[in-house]
Structure 1
Amino acid sequence: MAKITYVEHNGTEHTVEVANGMTVMEGARDNNIPGIEGDCGGACACSTCHVYVDPAWVEKIPAKDDMEEDMLDFAFEPNPATSRLTCQIKVTDAMDGLVVKMPEKQI
């Protein structure tokens, strides 16, 4: 289990425990955290779970695959260095302390 901090665009922080094996998107959904929609249910078929990973964590989580890279092209103001789709980040104990920030909106 890992404590993950979700930061809304307005700066409101939500720190919750997310079980190993779940995705960061599922952690947001299951804890009613606003700002991560996940319209496709986690199939990497939309960009409505887009976040900016805190720069200190970018190298500590698994890298993006080609499909995620392609879907990020549809996200609102993606940042090549820090943008991720939370449906593609599986939680492990090593992610305890992860911080993700939501964009102004999801599209």
Structure 2
Amino acid sequence: MKILAVTACPSGVAHTYMAAEALEKAAKVKGIEIKVETQGSIGIENKITAADIKDTDAVILTKDMGIKEAERFNGLPIVKVAISDVVKKAEQILDKVEAYINGKKQV
């Protein structure tokens, strides 16, 4: 399973990176491949490329502010989540995304 995520918060500092770290840690525990792009005050880091998007199962986007270049993910399952929820509930978010993906593959 491969998930992509983009985190961004209004100030572009702490929560952007805290959310990215929370997703990466939760994915590692669950054995999920994840790449997290951050869109913070210093710009886009760890940019998601077309090659990354090619085989992804779902995309997680934070919804507290606009995500730059979101059109890259058109046609993919997208989950929009508040940045504070990603920081506090990353594992539960990944559980829900994983259940959705597994349900879709069984159909």
Q: Given the two structures, how large is their TM-score scaled by the length of structure 2? A: 0.35
Higher helix residue share: 2
Structure with greater Cα Rg:
2
Higher RCO (Cα < 8 Å, 6 or more apart): 1
